[in-house]
């Protein structure tokens, strides 16, 4: 998962943080971009599309990792996260079609972020704040 995420979202400096901290960092960066788009008063299609696309990429990587044979998460948690991944996919399509849903994507990400460790990330990566 870490290698795919790094490739998809840019180079991450070598740090002594684990996969979950990197996941948190990606969720944080993408969610903050979605929030910035949601808070703007002028419609900027490129910014909306970029934020939604990056969020969808993250969730696609997560879904692929959840489906890999080596994923050790409990089956119930896997199912819940896969459901969220599908919800994000559908909602993303709706948002890109001009419908509501951006706040829903942000809420899903914030909820997942609440369950991920972040202390190591906060100490080493203030640059995404």
Q: Where are the chain's structural domains? A: 2-122
Average pLDDT score over residue span 76-100: 93
Cα torsion through 22, 27, 32, 37, rounded to 10 = 140
- Can you give the pLDDT at residue 40? 85
Give exposure, 70-102, as e/b (b: 16+ Cβ within 10 Å). Answer: eeeeeeeebeebeebbeebeebbebbeeeeebb
Q: Residue 117's pLDDT band (boundaries 50, 70, 90)?
A: confident
> Could you say which of 3.30.70, 1.10.10, 1.20.120, 1.10.1740 is the CATH number of the domain covering 2-122?
1.20.120
Its pTM stands at: 0.76
Position 126 scores a pLDDT of 46
CB contact set of 92 (below 8 Å; sequence gap of 6+): 52, 53, 55, 56, 101, 105
């Amino acid at each position: 998962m870490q290698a795919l995420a790094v490739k998809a979202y840019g180079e991450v400096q070598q740090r002594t943080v684990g996969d979950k901290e990197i996941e948190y960092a990606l969720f944080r960066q993408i969610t903050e971009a979605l929030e910035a788009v949601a808070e703007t008063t002028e419609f900027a299609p490129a910014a909306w599309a970029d934020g939604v696309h990056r969020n969808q990429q993250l969730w696609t990587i997560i879904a692929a990792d959840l489906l890999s044979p080596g994923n050790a998460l409990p089956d119930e948690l896997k199912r819940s996260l896969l459901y969220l991944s599908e919800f994000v996919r559908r909602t993303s399509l709706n948002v890109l079609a001009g419908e509501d849903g951006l706040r829903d994507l942000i809420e899903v990400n914030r909820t997942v972020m609440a369950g991920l460790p972040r202390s190591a990330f906060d100490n080493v990566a203030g640059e995404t704040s």
